[in-house]
A and B are shown apart, each in its own frame.
Chain A
Amino acid sequence: MSRLDGPDTRGHYDELRDASGKVRTHYEPLITDLQRRDSAGVKRLSDTARRLLAERGVTFNIYDDKGMDTPWHMDPVPFVISAREWEGIEKALIQRATLLNAILNDSYGPQQLIRDGSMPAALVLAQPAYLRPCHGIKLPNAKPLQVYGADLARSPDGQWWVISDRTQIPTGSGYALENRLITSRLLPEVFRDARVRRLAGFFRQMQQSLAALAPRPVEEPRVVLLTPGPYNETYFEQAYLARYLGYTLVEGEDLTVRDDRVFLKTLNGLEPVDVILRRVDDDFCDPLELRNDSMLGVPGLVRAVRAGNVSLGNALGSGLVEAPAMMAFLPGLCRKLLGSELLMPSVATWWCGQERPRGEVEKNLDRLVIKSAFRVRGREACFGNRLTGAERAALAERMRFAPDRWAAQEKISFSTAPMWEDGQLVHKPVSVRVYLVATKDGYMVMPGALTRVAATMDSPLVSMQKGGTSKDTWVLSEGPVENITLLSRTSAPVELRRTGHNLGSRVANHLYWLGRYAERAESSARLLRSTLLRCSPESGMSETPLLLPLLEALKRLTVLDDVPDAAALASQQEQLEARLLEAVFDADHPTSIRSCVSHIQRIGVLLRDRISVDTWRVISQLGDALDTYDNTPSITPMSDALNVLTRIILELASFHGLAKENMTRAQGWMFLDMGHRIERTVYICELLRAGLRSADAENPSLLEAILEVGDSTITYRNRYSLLPQIAAVYDLLMLDELNPRGLRFQFERIRQQFEHLPHEKNSALLTPAMRVFLENNTRLQLCDPTELARVEPGTWAQTQVAKLLTQLIEAMPVLNDALTAGYFAHSTISSSDASPAETLST
């Protein structure tokens, strides 16, 4: 390995080498390991990291780039910190967390600090983050900060600085964990030999600390992770942490407040919630007492907190102390509150609300970063030296108009660490986010961190939002490393369970629709494939009448949209082909295969914490066939379409297979299967009815096509070894209980699932859904397809069989609605303020 031989000479602190050019001791094992590999070997590490991250679905949402699910970037070369250095960082950050807690408790309590002038009044009273409805709320353990994150950077003289505090929602610990899982697989030997401290202990402490916040004296309190939903930038992390920590991932509408207590809406009714790990900004948490334009929160939550019936981590209002302006006052506050000096300095900060600092800021604008004094959404920092004369004047005027809203900070030249880029190791500036969790008598620091790398050398900001990359962070241990896993927790025997926690009704709804869309995609693909096979020009016009029933079915199922006359379409080869291709590829066509696939993926994202990694992999690869077509279309689009359809059918088969083999037969499975069966029923009925309505209903070629779409050709041949005969085909696809593609089979499955669904307690009455189902199940059982063999050709559409199919088609939406009303009714909230303006007459 020849790169990076010398020290970084550009005035940064070099994490890898000391001033004499010697590799620092704590980096030696890693560098020796990397040096054993050639350049291709390191590149392989980098490629493997990327592949593992993609497979595990590690993503990050960038707001302004339409970028849902942007892949997470991780450099394979970890950032290494020695045991001695870490000890100092640990001590300093525990002190800082203790200090910030004390400031919060005072600000939401006696406000002694602003009374005696230790801190300017504006730092509490002017802050949007000061949530007045939360003033005076008593927290059970007096620790508003359950989790705290600090961004650190190292200046050229080797000193560590805190460059920002994260107290509202410290994000990223899940990504740090994910990075760790990858590097420990990439570099197993050096990871073991270098004595890298493990992260699991930190998360176990988090579980214990949050459990200890439960107001109820229960054995296993219910902790939920409240997410703003899949559009949030760190949704992946939220779903990942929820799964790792064993918490239910909930959105605001999954929760409800009754009698000043918080409940989770589940299929079995309301279940009490004890602790909420919050990833929704606090001012969005309760539209009743906080921001009333928020629909992410839970109405009444502040009351529940005030009544002491639920605990939040972090507490509502915790954002107050992450204001950049606060940093200017921490040294004095530390002396006052803790009686000691601040162990690690904050980046030099001036608050413009005071006259003297403001004067200094105006004088030294060139070397400062100007930012909002308080953390404000969407407000960017600016660099004094990049402003034009006019911009400077405008800024100065705005600062004079509302000085208390502005702060300035010194620019720090970050230290550099080795990173793999474009085939070689290079020096890149880094900052490190360290996490702390509250314990019974203090704080515990995660022995690791999320290291972020700036995109360019001169970019003074490090941000994943701006396309930075990340690194695992290895904190070395002096002694042997303890091994901890989250699963074996206590020596107490575990209570055996056969069911998980009750399923939330929103999740049940998603699973139901996942089942429906997966089946819709598959059935449409089968129907389209059989149609495409029959409409090649060589097959000749003689096939047209036989094509018609398939087109009719496609039209009824709206796979072919806006087709007034299927017969006319069938006779125009070119137009027909165009419409069929649209039904596969067109993203604007709501029931095209492509649209179904994106529905499946959208729901997949929502269920991220509920489905296995393999299932997620299948779902995320579903669209690949379509993308291949987009990128490299051939000159024969019809055969491309056939290929795509076949691939999708196979991929959906593996999805169904994974679901069938991997999901326990609990409520989640029931709803997935129910959706699957109801959708398939609709498709079979439409196909069979279209067949009966055709003048050629008994034509063997048409019956052949129906068997093919219904994937029952082989079964039929096994039994009859004859040309398809109408009564036998209908018997196989309708009444044969053993045919998984037949109607009876679907009904039997729906019946089984119904038996296990929770019902109204103490009610002897049938649920509306059950009633619809039973009625139609009986009709189906009483049906006699042998009548088809006895009727006059041309009158099939008038038979009892055809009538039954129509009834079943009409019943499915009713069944769907009844299920929705019975199990998924999670109404949305809206605000209903009475404004004086509406009624004023003065």
Chain B
Amino acid sequence: MNYRITHRTTYAYSSQVAMSHHAARLRPRDTDTQRCLEFSLSFDPEPDLLTEHTDSFGNQVACFSVQKLHNHFEVISRSFVSLMPVLQPDPLQTPAWESVAAMFRDPVPVDLLDPCQFVFGSPLLLHEMPLRDFALPSFTKGRPVLAATADLCRRVHREFVFDPKATTISTPLHEVLEKKRGVCQDFAHLAIASLRAMGLPARYISGYLRTHPPAGKPRLQGVDASHAWASCFVPGFGWVDFDPTNNCFTSLDHITVATGRDFSDVSPVRGIITGGGRHSVDVGVDVEPVGA
């Protein structure tokens, strides 16, 4: 499955901005089942400085600065990505969740150091005890880790209402837990924090989701969105991505861009401006299936 993706972020400032710095994680990662074949960034106005580096999670980061007066700024990323079907282990054949949690207690074997960094609290997800109470019903004694995770995913999907008005980027998790409402980012955070509360590693994925037009209707441009989901670690297999918003394991519809501990590690475009008064941001995403 191939996709051509356009991701546009436009800032409008109420007064002139003297300088803006941005850090963007927009380049889709290469994974076992995904290849980013083409990638380009375009800007308006052109930045005076553009550098790239890889962050400690392996994401490509582009840093750019506009060092002259400007009252708007736009960055567009265009990528061409090829996906192969994801092989899922049989959830019932995975190890009991307790044995997985035990592997991540000190001393942690050296080959588990990478997943180990996703077992602790992170900037947006402090290790919160109420999350354990939420997670517990899914983690019955001896249950295979992936089966328990699938159950958790199902419960988030069933018990929580998708409501873009209920939360903002800074709504803390316990509030989401009380309101039982939120968006994909909240649901991913909820699942991740629940897994970590059980002593299991879990990570945050930002990316895109292919939307299927209603039967008989043409695909509309720009209605797609950036999306977020979660990933749990299965020893002997690796990371398994799941989408609590849509209650599924990911496969050919989910395009991975960046992975981290929570949203703060993978924010697609982070910006700091000097001056400028109030600003507004507009984001448009288009995910176009290509070929087959």
- A and B part of one assembly: yes
- Residues of A near any B CB (own CB < 8 A): 111, 114-117, 120-122, 125-126, 128, 132-133, 135-136, 256-260, 287-289, 291-292, 299-300, 303, 306, 353-355, 398, 401-402, 404-405, 827-842
Residue of B nearest to A839 (CB): B283
CA distance A842 to B243 in the complex (A): 11
| A202 smallest CB distance to B (angstroms) | 36
Pick from B19, B227, B228, B271: contact of A256, CB below 8 A: B19
A–B pairs, 13, beta carbons within 8 Å:
A121-B107, A122-B106, A132-B57, A288-B23, A288-B63, A398-B129, A827-B276, A831-B271, A832-B272, A836-B227, A837-B185, A838-B283, A840-B227
The residue in chain B whose Cβ has the minimal distance to the Cβ of A405 is B127
State which of B32-40, B46-54, B82-90, B140-148 sits at the interface with chain A.
B46-54
Q: Confirm or deny: B268 has a beta carbon within 8 angstroms of a beta carbon on chain A.
A: yes
Q: B223 at interface (Cβ–Cβ under 8 A)? A: yes
A839 touches B18 (CB 8 A): no
Q: How far is the CB of B11 from chain A (nearest CB, A)?
A: 6
Q: Evaluate contact between B49 and A259: CB separation under 8 angstroms.
A: yes
A132 CB contacts on chain B under 8 angstroms: 55-57, 265
Of the residues A122, A834, A840, contact of B269 by C-beta under 8 Å? A834
A836 CB contact (under 8 Å) in B23, B211, B268: B268
On chain B, the residues within 8 Å of A258 by CB distance are 19, 65, 67
Is the beta-carbon distance between A300 and B121 smaller than 8 angstroms? no
When chains A and B are docked, how far (Å) is the Cα of A125 from the Cα of B56?
Answer: 12
Q: Which residues of B contact A835 (CB under 8 A)?
A: 168-169, 185, 267
Check: B99 CB closer than 8 A to any chain A CB.
Answer: no
Per the bound structure, the CA–CA distance linking A122 and B113 in Å amounts to 10
Q: How does the 8 Å CB contact mask read for B97-138 relative to A, with 1 for contact and 0 for none? A: 000000001111010010011001101000101001000000
Residues from chain B with a CB closer than 8 A to the CB of A353 are: 105-106
Q: Are A133 and B56 in contact (CB under 8 A)?
A: yes
Decide if B270 is an interface residue (CB 8 Å cutoff). Answer: yes
Interface contact B48-A259, CB-CB below 8 Å:
yes
| Contact pick for B113, options A114, A306, A401, A838, CB 8 Å | A114
A121 to B201, CA, bound (A): 14
Are B56 and A842 in contact, with the CB atoms below 8 A? no
Given that A832-B11, A836-B184, A842-B227 are known contacts, is A125 also in contact with B116, CB under 8 Å in the complex?
yes
Residues of A within 8 A of B57 (CB): 132
Whether B225 pairs with A288 at a CB distance below 8 angstroms is no
Q: How far apart sit A759 and B19, CA to CA, in the bound complex (Å)?
A: 22
B281 contacts chain A at the CB level, 8 A cutoff: yes
Docked-complex contact B245 and A120, CB < 8 angstroms: no
Interface residues of B in 1-41 (CB under 8 A from A): 9, 11, 18-23
- CB-contacts of B240-284 with A (<8 A): 245-246, 264-265, 267-276, 279, 281-284
Check B272 against A837 for contact (C-beta < 8 Å). no
Chain A contacts for B11, CB-based, 8 A: 832
- List the A side residues contacting B23 at CB < 8 Å: 288-289
The reply to whether A300 and B53 contact each other, CB–CB distance below 8 Å, is no
Judging by beta carbons under 8 Å apart, are B21 and A292 in contact? no
Listed from nearest, the 5 A-B pairs whose CB atoms lie closest are A827-B275, A126-B120, A299-B272, A835-B169, A832-B271
B60 in the interface (beta carbon within 8 A): no
Which residue on A lies nearest to B49, using beta carbons?
A259
Q: Give every chain B residue within 8 A of A136 (Cβ-Cβ).
A: 56
Cross-chain contact B121 with A830 (CB below 8 angstroms)? no
Write the nearest CB–CB distance from A307 to chain B, whole angstroms. 8
In the bound complex, do residue B273 and residue A829 qualify as a contact, i.e. CB atoms below 8 Å apart?
Answer: yes
* CA A840 to CA B186, docked complex, whole Å: 12
A507, B166: Cα distance in complex, Å: 44
Are B223 and A841 in contact (CB-based, < 8 A)?
A: yes
Q: Is B149 an interface residue when CB atoms closer than 8 A count as contact?
A: no
Could you tell me if A256 and B274 are in contact, using CB atoms closer than 8 angstroms? yes
Q: Is B94 an interface residue (CB 8 A)?
A: no
Most chain A CB within 10 A, of B51, B65, B211, is at B65
Give Cα distance in the complex from A257 to B18, angstroms.
12
- Complex Cα distance, B122 from A128, in Å, reads 8
Residue B167 is within 8 A (CB to CB) of chain A in the complex: yes
* Interface hub of A256, A259, A402 (most chain B Cβ within 10 A): A402
Q: Which of A125, A355, A402, A827 contacts B127 (CB 8 A)?
A: A402
Known contacts A256-B19, A402-B121; is-contact A837 B106 (Cβ 8 Å): no
Q: Specify the chain A residue showing the minimal Cβ separation from B167.
A: A837
| Residue B183 lies at the interface, judged by CB distance under 8 Å to chain A | yes
Q: Smallest distance from the beta carbon of A115 to chain B beta carbons, Å?
A: 5
Q: Least Cβ distance of B153 to chain A in Å?
A: 15
Q: Are A121 and B116 in contact, CB atoms less than 8 angstroms apart? A: yes
**Contact residues in A for B285 (Cβ distance below 8 Å):** 839
CB pair B225 A841 closer than 8 Å: yes
Having A126-B121, A289-B23, one finds 16 other A-B pairs with CB under 8 Å, namely A117-B110, A132-B55, A133-B56, A288-B23, A300-B21, A401-B197, A831-B272, A832-B279, A834-B267, A835-B185, A835-B267, A836-B268, A838-B281, A838-B283, A839-B283, A841-B211
Question: CA–CA, A111 to B129, complex, Å?
Answer: 30
B291 partner residues in chain A, CB cutoff 8 A: none
Interchain CB contact under 8 A, B129 and A401: yes
Distance from B66 Cβ to chain A, minimum over Cβ atoms (Å)? 11
**Which residues of chain A are near B71, meaning CB under 8 Å?**
none
B214 at the interface (CB under 8 A from A): no
A830 touches B272 (CB 8 A): yes
**B-side contacts of A830, CB under 8 Å:** 272-273, 276, 279
| Cα of A405 to Cα of B127 in the assembled complex, Å | 10
B268 nearest in chain A by CB position? A834
Give the chain A neighbours of B169 by CB distance below 8 A: 833, 835, 837-838
Given known pairs A292-B270, A832-B279, A833-B271, the reply for A840 and B129 (CB within 8 Å) is no
CB of B264, distance to nearest CB on chain A (Å): 8
A121:B113 contact, CB within 8 angstroms: yes
Within 8 Å CB of B186, what residues of A? 837
